[in-house]
Structure 1
Amino acid sequence: MTADPPAVRAGLEELNSLGWIDRVRAPDDANEDFDEFGNEVTGKWMPKELTPELWERIRSATIEGDLGIGAKVLKDHSRACVYTRDYRDLDDLRRILTELRDIGARGWIDYKRDCDTQRELYGRGAAYSCSPPGTVDIKVPRWSVGREMDREAVVDADNLRRTSR
């Protein structure tokens, strides 16, 4: 008989087949808030090229409540996700980014909203913001598919209001 994986013991759903091997959550759960476009507001910093030691620091900081609201890592440690409560809260995003830098995350770190993952936006243009190597700067990429979809939703809503008058 094999032991349950840590995620199952913590009450989390089984990790899917995309290669995620470990997931933890902070003592506080995410809020169930939505933005003005109807999108869920949770998101994630996605550091790349982790070592097992860096993952353990991320894991511990998350469990202690010092990082984000949850975290998971791919089995090859090529990427982790450190979840945030609200992509609109820049102070919290910078606090989490600063902690990631302090515990050893070095390269570019992309930030992606969970609503964009639900929209199946991956690859080029999927990042909502990013942080250059070695900084806690939060930059807006030249192009973000999710931001464009939000703009289109505003235009569509404005057009609907005009035609319904």
Structure 2
Amino acid sequence: MTCKNAPTEQQTLHSPATCMHEPWVWADHPHDDPDCERLWSGKWLWFPPLRLLDDSWNTIRTATHDGVLGYRSKAATLINTRPGSDDTRRPICIYTNDWRDLEDVKRVLNALRDLGNVDVLLYKTDSETRRQRYGQGASTYKALPGRRSMTVPRRTTLLLEHHHTARQHARKAAEQRKRLRTKAPAPAT
């Protein structure tokens, strides 16, 4: 999947608590390539209360612009609601390139903690969002309040093991093909 179009300048200027014409406000890493493919992207989700939304967003936006967090962040505005969601909070999403890259996912978690975030943080893959999976059971990772470690649900562990096994098989197959090509007789002229 190709990245969504980069946000307009207007979407990056407004505070989420006052913006009434866009569902999201955005911030991009200064060296982000908006045209790149991110098949495995995901995001940390933080749900600050409305009274702290603008201050929380200003912290995340600045850290994203400074290159401290992932490649992009966004915050839901007041018009962004889903049926059954908590209307007293809005999500702030902090994106990473690859949910399977545990080192980078943990790096962003630690950066969020360094910025003073002590709340529960949930991590969700963009593929789960595209499948419209929300709420309990949709998280790939979870960081408990104030913790720098993350809980990895069994379902995620199985996905990571499957991915690792598939990569090993692909490497072996590629090595076999390479050996066969090098052993193949030269064509007759």
Same fold (TM over 0.5): yes
1:102 corresponds to: 114
| 1:29 counterpart = 2:33 | yes
For the pair shown, which has the larger CA radius of gyration, 1 or 2? 2
**Distance across 2 between alignment mates of 1:127 and 1:10:** 31
1:72 to 74, 77, 84: 74
Displacement after TM superposition at 1:142 (Å): 5.5
Deviation at 1:28, TM superposition (A): 2.1
Q: Deviations over 1:121-143 (max 9, x none)?
A: 11111111110000111112366
Q: How is 1:154-165 mapped onto 2 (pairs within 5 angstroms)?
A: none
Match of 1:115 in 2: 127
Contact 2:71 2:97 in 1 (8 A): yes
TM-score with structure 2 setting the length: 0.60
Bigger mean CA offset, 42-51 vs 124-133: 42-51
Q: Identity of paired residues, percent?
A: 33
Q: 1:84 aligns with which of 86, 96, 115?
A: 96
Residue from 13, 18, 23 that aligns with 1:20? 23
* Structure 1 unaligned blocks of 5 or more: 1-6, 34-39, 155-165
1:71/1:83 contact within 8 Å kept: yes
Deviation at residue 53 of structure 1 after TM alignment:
1.6
CA distance in structure 1 between the partners assigned to 2:26 and 2:148 by the alignment? 24
User: Do the aligned residues in 2 keep the contact of 1:109 with 1:131 (CA within 8 Å)?
Assistant: yes
TM normalised by structure 1 equals 0.69
Q: Secondary structure at the match of 1:49?
A: coil
Q: Measure how far apart 1:8 and its partner are.
A: 1.1
Instruction: Give unpaired runs (5+ residues) of structure 2.
Output: 1-6, 13-19, 79-88, 167-189
Matched, 1:8 2:14: no
Note closer, same or farther for the CA distance 1:22–1:137 as it changes in structure 2 (3 Å cut): same
Give the deviation of 1:57 after TM superposition. 1.1
Give the Cα–Cα distance (whole angstroms) in 2 for the partners of residues 116 and 96 of structure 1: 20
Find the aligned partners of 1:114 and 1:29 in 2 and give their Cα distance.
18
Q: Distance in 2 between matches of 1:29 and 1:94?
A: 22
State how far apart, in whole Å, the 2-side matches of 1:71 and 1:83 are.
6
Q: Comparing both structures, which one devotes a greater share of its residues to helix? A: 2
SS at match of 1:112: strand
